[in-house]
Amino acid sequence: MPEPVIHTEKLSKRFGSFTAVDEISFSVSAGEIFGFLGANGAGKTTAMKMLTGLLAPTSGQATVAGFDVYRQSEEIKRNIGYMSQRFSLYDDLTPRENIRFFGGIYGLGKAEITAKCDQMLESLELVKVRDSRLSSLPLGWKQKLAFSVALLHEPKLVFLDEPTGGVDPVTRRRFWDLIYKAASDGITVFVTTHYMDEAEYCDRVSIMVDGKIAALDTPEALKGSFGTATMNDLFIKLARPAIRSGE
Amino acid sequence: MKRFIGFVRKEFFHIMRDRRTAAILFGMPILQLLLFGFAIRNEITEVRTGILDLSHDVVTQELTDKIFSSGTFVASGVLNNGKETGPAFASGKMNEVVVFESGFAGNLQRDGTAQMQVITDGSDPNVSRIITGYTESVVREFLVEKAESTGTAQGVEAVPVMMFNSALKSVYLFVPGLMAMILMLVSALMTSISITREKESGTMELLLVSSLKPVQVIIGKVVPYLLLSFVNVITVLALAFLVFGVPCRGSIALLLGESLLFIMTALSLGILISSITNSQQVAMMISLAGLLMPTVLLSGFIFPITSMPLPLQVISNIIPARWYLVIVRGIMLKGAGIGVLWQETLVLVFMSLLFMTVSVRKFSERLQ
C-alpha cells in the first residue's frame, strides 16, 4: 500500500462556537478519484480550504501530498491543482493568455510555458480560438481549459470544486472522460459535486452531513450497506435528517 | 519577479480590453480638466444691468457711463420705477439693477454722501456677491477720480492685490482639486473594483491556491494602477499648463513625489474597501459615496473649509484629499517647499501606513 496522497485524522475547523468541520478522518490514495459529497452548508468547502492550504485547521492532523497542513501550506500549494466553482479563468483574456498567465503564476519557465501552451491548445482542440476572448467560447470549452490549467504544473493531486455546475449532461460526460484520463496518468482527483450520477463515476465517495463524514466507501458498497438502489436515494436518506439546512 | 511581471501584464490586458475601464482611466481626467477649465468659471462677465435713475443728473449719468465702460456690465434697459425690478429679474432679463436716489448729485454736493442701491439676484448667492463687489469697486474708483479732479483727495483706500493668482482664475483653484479627485477615482475606485472582480469571478481563489502570497497578489493588482495614476498626474499637469497656463511655481519633483504619496494613500483605501466587500457593486458604491463625494465636497476643493460648520471642519481632517490639496496648491501656486509642507506630508504618510496595515490584516483575516 503506497503512502496516501491525502490523510486526515480528526481534522476540525471551528468558527467561534460553530463547528464547520467536525473531526473528519479519511485517506485518499494515489490515482484515486475521490468524490466528496454533501449538501450545501455541510462543511465541504471549509474542508477543502483546509486541504488546499487556504485555511488553517483548528485541531486534528492532515497531510496533503506528504506535507503538513499546519506548517507546509506553501509546499502543498505548489503540489496541487485547483479548479474552482464556475471554472473561473479570466473571461477577458484569450485561452493562450490564460495559459501563459497561470503558467507564469505557477512558476514555469518561458520555454516550458510555450511548449505546454501549444500542446494543450492542440489536445483540447482550441487552436482555432486561441486568440478569441474566453467570454466568447462555449461553457464546455472553458471548463476543459480550466481543468487543463489546473494541471499545468503537473501536480500529483487536483481539487475540483463542483467542476460541472450548470453544464449539460453530454458536456459533463465528456468532462469526466478528462478526469478519467488524468487519473489514469496517476493524478489523484478530489472532486465535489451535487450530481449523483457523477458520484457513481468515483472510485470512492464520502458524504458529509453536519460537518461529519456520514458514509465513506465505493458507490457499490454504500448502496449495498444502506440498501438503496441509487446514489441519489442514498444521499437523500443521509442528508435529509441534517440539522444544518442548505443555504 | 517573472511571476510578478506576468501578473502586471495580465492586469494591463484587463484594463485595455474593458472599454469602460480604459475610458474612465484615460478619457476622464482629460474631459474633467477641460470641463472644469472651460465651462465652470467663477469669473463673471456680461452682467446684464438695468439702471433705475430717480435723479437724472450729471453725476448719475457719469456714474452710469463709468459702470458700462468697465466691460463687465452690459446695459440691458432703463427702468422707470421700482415695481419693474421684480419682473426684470424673474424673466432673467437682468441680473443686476442699480438704483440712484432722487437728488443724487445734490445730496453728494451738500452732505458728501448720496445713496445708491445695488440689487442683485439672490437665487445665486455667489454670483450676486461677486457682481456686488465689482459694482462697489467701480463706484469707489469713480469717487477717487472725482476727488482727485476737484483736488479734495482724502481718506484711506484699500488696494487689493491677489497674491499667487492675480487674475483670480478659477482654473488655478480647480486643477489641484481635480488632481485629488482623479487620483482618488482611479486609484481607490478602480483598485477596489478590480480586486472585487477577481473575488466575484472566483479567480482570486485560484491565485491564492497558486502559492502566491496574499501580499504578492495585492501588490500585483495595485502596481498597474499606481503607474496609470502617475501618468494621469502628468497628463493633468501638462494640460493645465499648456491649455490654461497654470504654472507650477515650486519644484515639479516635489509635486510628483507628493502625488505619488497621495496615490499610495488612495490605493491603500481601495484595497481596504475591497477587503471588506466581495462585490464590485458594493465596492463601487463605497468608493463613490464614501470617498469621491467627501473628496469633492469636504476637502476644500469647491467649498472653503474655513467657512464650514465646526463638525464638518473636524471631519474634513480625515479626508486625505484635504491635505493633498494644501500641498498641491502650496507647491503649484505659492512655490512652497517641503519645509512648509512637511506636516501635511506626514499626515498623508501616516494615513497610508494606517490604511495599508489595516487592509493587509483584513485581507488575511478573511482568508482564515
Q: Is the pLDDT of residue B186 over 60?
A: yes
Cell triple for residue B283? Answer: 465596492
Q: Is residue B2 included in any domain, yes or no?
A: no
Q: Is residue B53 included in any domain, yes or no?
A: yes
Question: Helix H segments across chain B?
Answer: 2-17, 19-22, 28-34, 58-69, 85-90, 104-111, 125-150, 170-183, 191-201, 203-209, 214-244, 252-276, 280-285, 293-297, 310-316, 320-334, 338-367
Give tens-digit pLDDT for A11-29. Answer: 999 988 898 999 999 999 9
CATH of the domain at B96: 3.40.1710.10
pLDDT number for residue B152: 62
CB B348 within 8 A of CB B325: no
Q: Which residues contact B59 (CB under 8 A, 6 or more apart)?
A: B104, B105, B108, B114
pLDDT number for residue B40: 67
Question: Under an 8 A CB cutoff, do B205 and A102 touch?
Answer: no
Banded pLDDT at B178 (limits 50, 70, 90): confident
Q: Is the pLDDT of residue A107 over 70?
A: yes
CB A26 within 8 A of CB A188: no
Among B3, B203, B210, whose Cβ lies nearest the Cβ of A89?
Answer: B203
Q: Is residue B16 included in any domain, yes or no?
A: no
Residue with the larger pLDDT of the pair A87 and B54: B54
Rounded to two decimals, the ipTM of the complex is: 0.83
Banded pLDDT at A2 (limits 50, 70, 90): low
How confident is the model over B247-274, as a mean pLDDT? Answer: 92
How confident is the model over A103-110, as a mean pLDDT? Answer: 87
Give tens-digit pLDDT for B93-104. Answer: 888 899 988 888
Q: Is B312 on the interface with A (CB under 8 A)?
A: no
pLDDT number for residue B41: 65
pLDDT number for residue B55: 86
Cα–Cα distance, B322 to B118 (Å, whole number): 37
Question: Under an 8 A CB cutoff, do B209 and A102 touch?
Answer: no
Q: Is residue B323 included in any domain, yes or no?
A: yes
pLDDT number for residue B368: 46
Q: B146 and B184: one domain?
A: no
The residue with cell 480625515 is B318
Q: B123 and B175: one domain?
A: no
Q: B105 and B179: one domain?
A: no
CA distance A38 to chain B (A): 21
Q: Is the pLDDT of residue A134 over 50?
A: yes
Cα–Cα distance, A206 to A220 (Å, whole number): 13
- Domain endpoint, select from B121, B150, B179: B150
Give tens-digit pLDDT for A55-67. Answer: 889 999 999 999 9
Pairing of strands B73-79, A212-217: unpaired
CA distance B264 to chain A (A): 25
Cell triple for residue B276? Answer: 471588506
Q: B179 and B320: one domain?
A: yes
Question: Under an 8 A CB cutoff, do A88 and B202 touch?
Answer: yes
pLDDT number for residue A99: 93
Phi, psi (deg, nearest 5) at residue B340: -90, -30
Compute the radius of gyration of chain A from its Cα atoms. 18
How confident is the model over A76-97, as a mean pLDDT? Answer: 88
Q: Which of B177, B90, B84, B95 is nearest to B130 (CA)?
A: B95
Q: Is the pLDDT of residue A184 over 50?
A: yes
Q: B104 and B226: one domain?
A: no
Q: B54 and B199: one domain?
A: no
Q: B132 and B183: one domain?
A: no
Residue with the larger pLDDT of the pair A94 and B72: A94
Cα–Cα distance, B233 to B112 (Å, whole number): 57
Among A86, A93, A106, whose Cβ lies nearest the Cβ of B210?
Answer: A106
Question: Under an 8 A CB cutoff, do A90 and B201 touch?
Answer: yes
Average pLDDT, chain B: 85
Cα–Cα distance, A12 to A18 (Å, whole number): 11
Q: Is residue B76 included in any domain, yes or no?
A: yes
Q: B201 and B340: one domain?
A: yes
Banded pLDDT at A247 (limits 50, 70, 90): very low
Among A56, A97, A107, whose Cβ lies nearest the Cβ of B13?
Answer: A97
Banded pLDDT at B35 (limits 50, 70, 90): confident
Q: Is B208 on the interface with A (CB under 8 A)?
A: yes
Average pLDDT, chain A: 88
Buried b (16+ CB within 10 A) or exposed e, A184-214: eeebbbbbbbebbebbebbbbbbbbbbbebb
Cell triple for residue A40? Answer: 450545501
Q: Is A102 on the interface with B (CB under 8 A)?
A: yes
Cell triple for residue A204? Answer: 470512492
| Chain A residues touching residue B209 (CB < 8 angstroms) | 52-54, 77, 80, 82, 159
Question: Phi-psi bin for B248: left (phi > 0), alpha (psi -120 to 50), beta?
Answer: beta
Pairing of strands A80-83, A59-64: unpaired
How confident is the model over A201-217, as a mean pLDDT? Answer: 91
Question: Under an 8 A CB cutoff, do B209 and A53 touch?
Answer: yes
Beta bridge partners, A34, equal: A190, A204
pLDDT number for residue B155: 63
Q: B34 and B62: one domain?
A: no
Q: Can you list the domains of chain A with their CATH numbers?
A: 6-239 (3.40.50.300)
How confident is the model over B231-237, as a mean pLDDT? Answer: 91
Banded pLDDT at B168 (limits 50, 70, 90): low
Q: Is the pLDDT of residue A1 over 70?
A: no
pLDDT number for residue B154: 61
Distances (CA, A) of B205 to A12, A21, B259: 21, 20, 33
Question: Under an 8 A CB cutoff, do B211 and A86 touch?
Answer: no
User: What's the pTM?
Assistant: 0.78
Domain membership of residue B290 as a residue range: 24-40+169-367
Q: B96 and B209: one domain?
A: no
Q: Is residue B17 included in any domain, yes or no?
A: no
Q: Total structural domains in chain B?
A: 2
Cα nearest neighbour of B198 on chain A: A90
Residues of chain A with pLDDT > 70, as a percent, come to 98
Question: Under an 8 A CB cutoff, do B211 and A54 touch?
Answer: no
pLDDT number for residue B366: 56
| Chain B residues touching residue A159 (CB < 8 angstroms) | 209
How confident is the model over A207-224, as a mean pLDDT? Answer: 89
Cα–Cα distance, A58 to A54 (Å, whole number): 13
Question: Under an 8 A CB cutoff, do A54 and B202 touch?
Answer: no
How confident is the model over A96-124, as a mean pLDDT? Answer: 90
Question: Under an 8 A CB cutoff, do B206 and A102 touch?
Answer: yes
Banded pLDDT at B42 (limits 50, 70, 90): low
- Domain endpoint, select from B118, B150, B182: B150
Q: Is B203 on the interface with A (CB under 8 A)?
A: yes
| Chain B residues touching residue A107 (CB < 8 angstroms) | 3, 211
Q: Is A131 on the interface with B (CB under 8 A)?
A: no
Q: B251 and B125: one domain?
A: no
Q: Is B17 on the interface with A (CB under 8 A)?
A: yes
pLDDT number for residue B261: 95
Residue with the larger pLDDT of the pair B322 and B39: B322
Q: Is residue B254 included in any domain, yes or no?
A: yes
Q: Which residues contact A61 (CB under 8 A, 6 or more apart)?
A: A7, A8, A9, A10, A11
How confident is the model over B126-140, as a mean pLDDT? Answer: 85
| Chain B residues touching residue A56 (CB < 8 angstroms) | 368
Residue with the larger pLDDT of the pair B261 and B174: B261
Question: Under an 8 A CB cutoff, do A85 and B202 touch?
Answer: yes
Q: How many residues does chain A have?
A: 247
Of the residues A92, A98, A134, the best mutation for testing chain B's interface (the one with the most B CB atoms within 10 Å of its CB) is A92
Q: Is residue B211 included in any domain, yes or no?
A: yes
Give tens-digit pLDDT for A31-50. Answer: 899 999 988 888 888 899 89
Q: B142 and B64: one domain?
A: yes
CA distance B32 to chain A (A): 28
Question: Under an 8 A CB cutoff, do B205 and A90 touch?
Answer: no
CA distance A89 to chain B (A): 6
Q: Which residues contact B286 (CB under 8 A, 6 or more apart)?
A: B192, B273, B276, B277
How confident is the model over A81-109, as a mean pLDDT? Answer: 88
Cα nearest neighbour of B199 on chain A: A88
CB A179 within 8 A of CB A35: no
CA distance A20 to chain B (A): 13
Among A77, A85, A93, whose Cβ lies nearest the Cβ of B10?
Answer: A93
Q: Is B368 on the interface with A (CB under 8 A)?
A: yes
Which amino acid, one-letter code, is at B267?
A: L
Exposed / middle / buried, residue B282 (Cβ in 10 Å: 0-12, 13-18, 19+): middle
